[in-house]
A = this chain, B = another copy of it.
Amino acid sequence: MNIADTLFGRPLATEEEKAERIGPVKGIPIFGLDALSSAAYGPEAALTLLIPLGMAGAAYVWPITIGIVVLLGIVYVSYRQTISAYPQGGGSYTVASENLGEGAGLLAAAALMIDYVLTAAVGISAGVGALVSAVPALQSRTLLLCLAILFVIAIINLRGVQETGGVFLLPTYIFVGCLLTLIVVGLFKTIAAGGHPVPLIMPPKLTAVTGTVSAWLLLRTFSSGCTAMTGVEAVSNGVMAFREPTDKYAKMTLTIIIAILMLMLLGIAYLVPAYGIAATDPTQPGYQSVLSQLLAAVAGRGVFYWISIGAILIVLSLSANTAFADFPRLARAIAQNRYLPQAFVLRGRRLVYAQGIYALAILTGALLIIFRGITDRLIPLYAVGAFLAFTLSQAGMVMHWRRTGGEHAKHHIVLNGIGALATGLTTAVVLVTKFVEGAWITVLLIPAMILMMRGVRRHYTAVGHEINSADPVRTAGLREPILLLPIDRWSLVAEKALRYAWTLSKEIHVLHVAGAQTDELRALWPRVVEEPAEAAGLPTPKLVVLDSPYRFIVKPIVDYALELQAERTDRVITMLVPELVETHWYHYLLHNNRPEAIRALLLFNGNQRITVATIPYHLRA
């Protein structure tokens, strides 16, 4: 297991679990990276839509950002309440299932799973996109870079939660530090200049006005800006990863994340018009991101600029890690209700839900390959899932307070009700404004996934009905099996199998397919088998030579077993397949794969009374 140890670290015992729990310092990078990094693309996505308005667009930045921050506040309050109500970990899936029923739960589950895959894909592709803008020579390697980063993130996560926090700690705090410093310095300069600061480096000139303001445009702008809110639900899903008392540390972590995010969004929204900055068209030459313009305007292109840009690049591509921290926990919760394969419930060698990490890595890789690692193609699929989950979660919380009551129930119901309405409306806006560009894919995927999950559950239930039993074992009708032993010639391999067969049953049929070695076998048979058996008082095996006009080897043997089973319905038949075990895999190319073929064909064609045993013959060489 040396390679596995090097890649994933030594196995951790179940008792070592507590040591893996985390506090806010590590919780912020692990569960907040996705939410925080969206400050780097949310405002940009909104401002891009205001480009046609020219300078007039600046007037709408502040009200739209206020709207997003208010929505963020509502969502924050809701998730704080969720953490209190579900200290064992209550993501949208748990809340919706418990309060709104199975259907709503599966809807939330499907929406969230899609959203996590998109979070991982968009995070990685945005990071690589930024890197590629800085180093255009890497353009042709976009997809390869995406997959390489995905691989590294998957490996880090397979090593376990504690080490994950360690890796992501530094870039996250540098990113937060840089952006907050930028905002404080910018604010100070703006106030000192009486609201009209002079940029150290002038932003690009505004393009000509080509459109007029409309409600639809503002809705689309708001909807694009809402991508800044994805990732906010991560903490509530991962409560169990925190130190005791889990809910206290989880809430603390959520509060810090939301507070920082709000400060960043408001700060950017205030400074951008003050410095006369607008988005530039990413499809045109001379494109420069809003954050890059703002950094240059406030601080110039010095050391601070490059550290900030570097931190943005790293944090964007690492934001995918939030999905890796949370998707496996979600999959586990769904699998515990038997809606996903049971493998998602088991923890791997490093106490992580390894199968969930594999699944997310494979799905993200597939998505990156399909969309060639280009962020713009992925974005329209995004956010629908997140807002659908927000809505279901808050609607679920409304039902939760109605059910449980309590001191402040009415207050809670009103708060969560407003939240549900606001996020529900946002879901509708996002869906409508992005439908044609790609949201339709999400709309098709969600029911498909619900059908799949229901199918999984149905299958487990059916299998359970068929095999469950608390009845005592039936002891009647036990009889030794008829043994079938296929051999191609007499050898030590055949001898070993025959000796084994004698220990099990008195009825043994040795099967041989007619061919070049038949005469020799017939000639040897009396001396090597019949006479010794008689002398030792053992039952003499029956030598059955099977004709094979079409030169098939496996088929006559399998057919013999099936025909015998049809005749002898009272008996169990066991096929004993001698198999050479080689020391090197490539030696298997030199032998036929008949043992495997016989096993597979009998298992699929056979019935309850045919059993297959492998008699290994280990070669020394």
Q: Which residues of A contact B (CB under 8 A)?
A: 11-15, 341-343, 346-349, 456, 459-460, 462-463, 466-476, 478-481, 490-493, 495-496, 498-500, 502-505, 524, 527-529, 531-533, 535-536, 538, 549-552, 572, 574, 579-581, 587, 589-592, 599, 603-604, 606-608, 610-621
Assembled-state Cα–Cα distance A504/B496 (Å): 17
**CA–CA, A612 to B577, complex, Å?**
10
- Report the separation of the CA atoms of residues A589 and B358 in the bound assembly, to the nearest whole angstrom: 14
Within 8 Å CB of A587, what residues of B?
459
Measured CB to CB, the nearest residue on chain B to A15 is B549
Chain B residues with CB under 8 A of A502: 475, 478
Contacts beyond the supplied A342-B590, A463-B580, A478-B503: 16 A-B pairs with Cβ under 8 Å: A11-B552, A13-B550, A349-B552, A462-B619, A463-B619, A469-B492, A472-B529, A474-B499, A475-B538, A479-B503, A480-B503, A581-B603, A581-B604, A606-B618, A610-B616, A613-B613
Give CA–CA (A12, B470) in the complex, Å: 53
A526 CB to closest chain B CB (Å) equals 10
In the bound complex, what is the Cα–Cα distance between A195 and B550 (angstroms)? 62
Report whether A550 and B612 are in contact in the complex, using a CB–CB cutoff of 8 Å: no
Given contacts A469-B490, A475-B535, contact A590 B480 (CB under 8 A): no
Which of B471, B498, B505 is A473 in contact with, Cβ under 8 Å? Answer: B498
Contacts of A532 in B (CB 8 A): 472-475
**Copies of this protein chain in the complex:** 2
Interface centre among A473, A490, A607 (most CB of B within 10 A): A473
- Taking the nearest CB of chain B, how far is it from the CB of A224, in angstroms? 38
Complex contacts, A470 vs chain B, CB 8 Å: 490, 524, 528
Q: Which listed residue, B528, B549, B574, B606, touches A613 by the CB 8 Å rule? A: B574
Q: Could you tell me if A466 and B549 are in contact, using CB atoms closer than 8 angstroms?
A: no
Please, how many angstroms separate the alpha-carbon atoms of A610 and B500 in the complex?
11
Which residues in B have their C-beta under 8 angstroms from that of A538?
475, 478
Q: What's the least CB distance linking A597 to chain B, in Å? A: 13
A551 touches B589 (CB 8 A): no
CB A559 to nearest CB in B, in angstroms, measures 13
**Contact at B500–A14, with CB atoms within 8 Å?**
no
Residues of B with C-beta under 8 A to A607 = 618
Give, as a whole number of angstroms, the nearest-CB distance from A495 to chain B. 5
Chain B proximity of A488: nearest CB distance (Å): 10
One of B341, B476, B616, B617 near A589 (C-beta < 8 A)? B341
A-B contact pairs, 30 of them (CB 8 A): A11-B552, A13-B550, A342-B590, A342-B592, A349-B551, A349-B552, A456-B590, A462-B619, A466-B492, A467-B619, A469-B490, A470-B528, A472-B531, A473-B499, A474-B495, A474-B532, A475-B499, A476-B536, A478-B538, A480-B504, A496-B608, A500-B572, A574-B613, A581-B603, A608-B616, A608-B617, A610-B616, A611-B614, A611-B615, A612-B614
Task: Compute how far the CA of A348 lies from the CA of B612 in the bound complex, rounded to whole angstroms.
Answer: 26
A468 touches B456 (CB 8 A): no
Residues of chain B within 8 A of A617, CB atoms compared:
467, 608
CB closest chain-B residue, reference A524: B470
The answer to whether B529 and A611 touch across the interface, beta carbons within 8 angstroms, is no
Let me know if A467 and B481 touch, CB within 8 A.
Answer: no
Question: A347 touches which one: B459, B551, B574, B620 (CB < 8 A)?
Answer: B551
Contacts of A500 in B (CB 8 A): 481, 572, 611
Checking B14, B468, B490, B535 against A549 with a beta-carbon cut-off of 8 angstroms, the contacting residue is B14
